[in-house]
Chain A
Amino acid sequence: MRQSSTEFGQLLVKAGRGVGLPLGVVEDLIDPVIWLQICGFPGEYEFHTALSALDEGRSEARFPDLLNTDRLTTSGSVSAAYLATGACDLLQLDWPEVGEEVLLSGTESPRLVSAALALSHRLLRREHFLKIVAPDEVFISGPGAEIICVRKEPQHQTPSGSGEKVIRLSTEHSGFDSAGTVLIDRVKEERFFEVCRLKGLCASPDIIAQLKAFSDRLLVPESEHSLKFGAGAGIVDSD
């Protein structure tokens, strides 16, 4: 189903608010979801997964404490929306330290969190590299504003249904090597964005319908009073 990125973005905001996410948290997720969608990933699915988990109580609407733990950081059942926002904020504090590895586990949408981290790191224009190892892909954000995404070779991917989805986060001054199929680099990303600019996005109609169901929670049911007076014009306003 073809959508404009504007229409898609507005739906994401409304769906997020419909589920009860604070507007400021939703705002931080829009760019990563759209970026995933443009670059050929099922961004709408990732977002819907995060919202559904929140809506059904399978994840918690709280920020994890990512600073006061040792090497292994367990996010528990924290919503990917809050994990992504909290982790992206910490990037501004030069977290994680160079040479340190942080594990974020238990998120229902590791790809959403990974994309958010990669894009946030790019916006910060840091001099070091950030490597984000998700179950199926590796994202690397570097000093030249380039984001590289590599699909891990099958033997390195996390089997589906195998349990917790872990994100490994680390920073280095020099670049990372990562074996696998390059899904996104500077050239590919520009091409994807050009296609989106010219043709829009493709999204799953089923997921769009489910996101719309979330966004419809923001609509106020019709009433006679609202119909007559809410818009300031008569029901049949004509010249």
Chain B
Amino acid sequence: MSLKLFELLLKASLYTIGISLISILIGFAIAILLSGAMLSGRKFFSAPAQIFISFFRGVPLLVQLLLIYNLLPVIGINVPSIVAAIVGLSLCTAAYQAENLRGGFASVPRGLIESAEMVGFTPGQAFRRIKVPIALRLTFPALVNEAILILKASSLVSVVGIVELTRMAQDLAGSTFLPLEIFASAGLIYLVINLVVARAGGLIERSLPGIPR
């Protein structure tokens, strides 16, 4: 396998990395809103959030992508490939991340908040200084996990016309007849990307407040 083919795979992996990174960040922002709605205790907020999460966790990502790409134009919203890919991945990961966050916040012991209020914390202070740091610490490993899952799931966006790493590998394997070398290289690139994500996640986790070094 020539260096040129490997370069093409690396170039395609920029799509994999870019689309995944943007989707994880957008997904996280949506997840904060969703988990807030779920924990609000008001049906008006929690019911729509619950429906959103059920849909995006319950329908395969592949089907979601095809729906966004092919069905939205029927109601007059014609999104380009790259937008369909990012919207699909973002909404899907938002549903999972929201559940992670909700779980994290729900696991902060009530007693801690009560003690904080006893020593004179306002509810806002207790939320910022006690609840958020603990919840973040509890959910962070799951968020890194989700980032790795999305990086791998991003191979599905080829169905809406994005030539990312997996699709490029398929195209090259088809035209060069070197499937073994090309898929092995693609696998290696995924592995390296995910090792970097895992390592970065580990470093960030150690720098979070309240983690013993």
Q: Do A and B bind each other?
A: no
